[in-house]
């Protein structure tokens, strides 16, 4: 079930909201356990809607990590080393990801080297990378005293499977919501803010990302020799905007729904395309993944506080190798991760971009980010190199009818994407925040009408029934 589907928007979410806030509120002191149980059952149903068998995989992960958490807590209480349960948790969780996500890829590569191994038919469970990292976060945060151990397995299950962030994040660290599982306080301010955030995210996905995807898919689907430089650049730019509005739209919807239920997830995006360095870009893009690797991999390795330069470079290499691998079983993702490793090392130790005019810093960052998304989007390394070659040395010429047609038909969407990838809305909010009296009433009325229009227009697109999966749900 997708957030951007009619059945979710008009049936599942309203029913869950009604069940959460009406009968459960009448149960007095039993309200919170009943609400948590309701959210858990609905989350499992949400995941099982399209993948009924894979919900068993997630439930097995939940039970295993519940046990690991108790094991860590017991050894800690006795003053004994927690290394064994931590190692077992890592092997179990990463082994689960390996079997479902990477085993077929590894066996295929071995067969290309001469082996004759049987390739099993293994389908990828939706969001396995996300719920696996959340499960690991629970065990690791219990070990580090960043959250109390849960003796009730249903609470661990709710944390891992909570439907707003289950399929594509943000990756919610256990320490962020440990106290809110039982101690959250719902209020109208959070609910209304969450609903507004949800609508904005839906607009990003339905009105911008899905429309930009048409251009990007066409450009990346052209055969060799048929891709002009204009179409190659247009496709690359459209995908750069598409993946931002697709993923940040999902995050907005997840964060908004979390607030509607009383949970406060951390931000996952902060206008990454205004960055003036690759380092800054990764402080603004997919923040939950960056901080996960920072807290659980980079810092334990020593981070930047090591005595030798080669150790810091090694730490960066490990993090970005794992970041590439986390995204998928394809050489394109591996190269994409190492591509960012190289850029970050050049910024840190070769001074790339340092001291340049701000405009040049922004342009250079956007150029390399845009180039990186070509590797991310392409189906293979060969396709990625073909697309990049077409951008700079095209076999089909510098401009053609395809480029002119798609640019003309999609110029308003493209301009809107460029505009809203910058903090225009935030700037307007800050400028109008101090308005009083009639001006404030006009501001609030205009905002409400804009959200209503966003809902109606987005809903009209959803009713068409076009298939529009979120990009990161495949990870």
Distance, in Å, from the CA atom of 306 to the CA atom of 108, rounded to the nearest integer, reads 38
Selected catalytic residue, list 73, 286, 312, 327: 327
Q: Are 169 and 246 in contact (CB under 8 A)?
A: no
Pairwise CA distance, residues 330 & 85, whole Å = 31
Q: In the 3-class helix/strand/coil scheme, how is the chain assigned residue by residue?
A: CCCCCHHHHHHHHHHHHHHHHCCHHHHHHHHHHHHHHHHHHHHHHHHHCCCCCHHHHHHHHHHHHHHHHHHHHHHHHCCCCCHHHHHHHHHHHHHHHHHHHHHHHHHHHHHHCCCCCCCCCCCCCCCHHHHHHHHHHHHHHHHCCCCCCCCCHHHHHHHHHCHHHCCCCCCCCHHHHCCHHHHCCCCHHHHHHHHHHHHHHHHHHHHHHHHHHHHHHHHHHCCCCCCCHHHHHHHHHHHHHHHHHHHHHHHHHHHHHHHHCCCCCCCCCCCHHHCCCHHHHHHHCCHHHHHHHHHHHHHHHCCCCCCCHHHHHHHHHHHHHHHHHHHCCCHHHHHHHHHHHHHHHHHHHCCCCCCCCHHHHHHHHHHHHHHHHHHHHCCCHHHHHHHHHHHHCCCCCCCCHHHHHHHHHHHHHHHHHHHHCCCHHHHHHHHHCCCCHHHHHHHHHHHHHHHHHHHHHHHHHHHCCCCCCCHHHHC
Tell me if residue 327 is catalytic.
yes
Catalytic residues: 327
């Amino acid at each position: 079930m997708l957030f951007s589907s009619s059945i979710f928007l008009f049936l599942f979410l309203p029913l869950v909201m009604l069940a959460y806030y009406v009968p459960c509120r009448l149960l007095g002191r039993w309200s919170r356990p009943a609400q948590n149980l309701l959210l858990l059952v609905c989350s499992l149903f949400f995941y099982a809607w399209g993948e009924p068998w894979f919900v068993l995989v997630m439930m097995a992960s939940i039970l295993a990590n519940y046990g690991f958490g108790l094991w860590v807590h017991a050894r800690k209480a006795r003053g004994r080393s927690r290394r064994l349960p931590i190692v077992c948790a890592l092997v179990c969780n990463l082994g689960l990801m390996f079997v479902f996500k990477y085993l077929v890829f590894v066996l295929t590569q071995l067969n290309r080297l001469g082996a004759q191994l049987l390739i099993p038919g293994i389908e990828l469970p939706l969001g396995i990378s996300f719920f696996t990292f959340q499960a690991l976060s629970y065990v690791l945060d219990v070990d580090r005293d960043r959250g109390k151990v849960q003796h009730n397995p249903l609470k661990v299950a709710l944390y891992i499977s909570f439907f707003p962030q289950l399929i594509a994040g943000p990756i919610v660290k256990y320490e962020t919501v440990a106290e809110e599982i039982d101690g959250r306080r719902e209020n109208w301010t959070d609910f209304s803010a969450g609903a507004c955030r949800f609508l904005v995210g839906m607009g990003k996905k339905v009105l911008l990302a899905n429309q930009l995807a048409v251009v990007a898919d066409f450009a990346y689907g052209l055969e060799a020799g048929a891709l002009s430089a204009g179409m190659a650049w247009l496709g690359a730019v459209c995908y750069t905007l598409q993946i931002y509005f697709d993923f940040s739209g999902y995050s907005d919807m997840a964060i908004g729904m979390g607030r509607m239920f009383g949970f406060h997830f951390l931000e996952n995006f902060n206008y990454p395309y205004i960055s003036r360095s690759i380092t800054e870009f990764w402080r603004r893009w997919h923040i939950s993944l960056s901080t996960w690797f920072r807290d659980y991999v980079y810092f334990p390795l020593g981070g930047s506080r090591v005595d030798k330069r080669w150790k810091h470079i090694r730490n960066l290499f490990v993090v970005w190798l794992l970041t590439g691998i986390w995204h998928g079983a394809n050489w394109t993702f591996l190269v994409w991760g190492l591509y960012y490793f190289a850029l970050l090392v050049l910024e840190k130790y070769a001074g790339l971009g340092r001291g340049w005019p701000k405009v040049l810093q922004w342009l250079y960052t956007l150029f390399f980010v845009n180039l990186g998304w070509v590797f991310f989007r392409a189906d293979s390394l060969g396709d990625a190199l073909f697309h990049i070659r077409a951008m700079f040395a095209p076999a089909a010429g510098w401009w053609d009818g395809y480029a002119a047609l798609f640019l003309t038909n999609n110029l308003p969407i493209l301009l809107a994407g460029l505009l809203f990838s910058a903090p225009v809305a935030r700037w307007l909010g800050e400028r109008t925040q101090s308005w009083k009296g009639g001006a404030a009433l006009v501001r609030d009325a205009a905002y409400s009408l804009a959200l209503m229009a966003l809902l109606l227009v987005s809903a009209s697109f959803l009713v068409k029934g076009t298939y529009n999966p979120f990009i990161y749900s495949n990870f």
